[in-house]
Amino acid sequence: MSSIIQTQGLTKVYGSNGTAVHALRGIDLTVAKGEFVALIGPSGSGKSTLMAILGCLDLPTEGTYTLDGHQVQGLSGGELARIRNEKVGFVFQSYNLLPKASIARNVELPMLYAGVGRKERRERALALLEKVGIADKADKLPGTLSGGQRQRVAVARALANEPALLLADEPTGALDSKTGAEVLGLFRELHQQGNTLLLVTHDPSIAAQAERQVEIRDGLIALNEGAA
């Protein structure tokens, strides 16, 4: 099976000499296409840092990373933006929708950056909203939606350019358990449809729903269960 994520010796150091924080200290991780991986670990262990690097939001200090066949290290800011746009879909704990843009426009935006035409953009956005079950809210502003609904919009937006990898950093962290479970159900559905998912969580019961768990501590992989 081809791998979506392949890293070797990833390290990340924040700051310089005196105040340096070694957030990652050598991560070797491989995620195959179609896997659903839960990333767990205590606060400050480096989960978000790893997510950022895997999502090409940030570059590692050292190590190599190949995303869906593309070498990431050494790419320019513009090239990274392109990879984020085409290969990665993000879902954040705090939704991170643009508050002044309508729901549909929020979903359309990644397609706009990809150069998709207006009409097709709109159609695809509506189809995605349909898929996550909130097609009726297309022209509303994010502020008028509940947390669970907002997170569904975020999922729709993440799927906009049919990414190779979906990254979710505590997507249920801000939701009550019922809506959290619903959103999680949505992720499982996406997994069943063949998407590759990597989900960061504190919650062991959520992690248990993934087919594979990776635990990091102090910037190192402590446990790697169910690896393919």
Ligand X SMILES: Nc1ncnc2c1ncn2[C@@H]1O[C@H](COP(=O)(O)OP(=O)(O)OP(=O)(O)O)[C@@H](O)[C@H]1O
Nearer to other proteins, 13 or 81 (CB): 81
| Of 50, 51, 105, 59, nearest in space to 81 by CA | 59
Q: Which does 23 bind (CB under 5 to 8 A by kind): ligand X, Mg ion, other proteins, none?
A: ligand X
Contacts of 115 (CB under 8 A, 6+ apart): none
- Two structure tokens written together for 145: 């939606």
Residue 41 to residue 155: CA distance in whole angstroms:
23
Q: Pick out residues in 127-166 that bind other proteins (CB under 8 A).
A: 157, 160-161
Q: Which does 113 bind (CB under 5 to 8 A by kind): Mg ion, other proteins, ligand X, none?
A: other proteins
Nearer to Mg ion, 7 or 201 (CB): 201
Strands in the chain per DSSP E: 3-14, 21-32, 36-40, 62-67, 70-71, 88-91, 165-169, 197-201, 212-217, 220-225
Q: How far is CA 135 from CA 59, 120, 138, 220, in A?
A: 36, 16, 6, 42
- Two structure tokens written together for 160: 């906009």
Q: Which does 15 bind (CB under 5 to 8 A by kind): other proteins, ligand X, Mg ion, none?
A: ligand X
Nearer to other proteins, 100 or 226 (CB): 100
**Least Å from the CB of residue 40 to Mg ion:** 11
Nearer to other proteins, 78 or 194 (CB): 78
Q: Pick out residues in 45-64 that bind other proteins (CB under 8 A).
A: 52, 55, 57-58
Residues that bind other proteins (CB under 8 A): 52, 55, 57-58, 77-78, 81-82, 84-86, 90, 92, 96-98, 100-101, 109-110, 112-118, 121, 157, 160-161
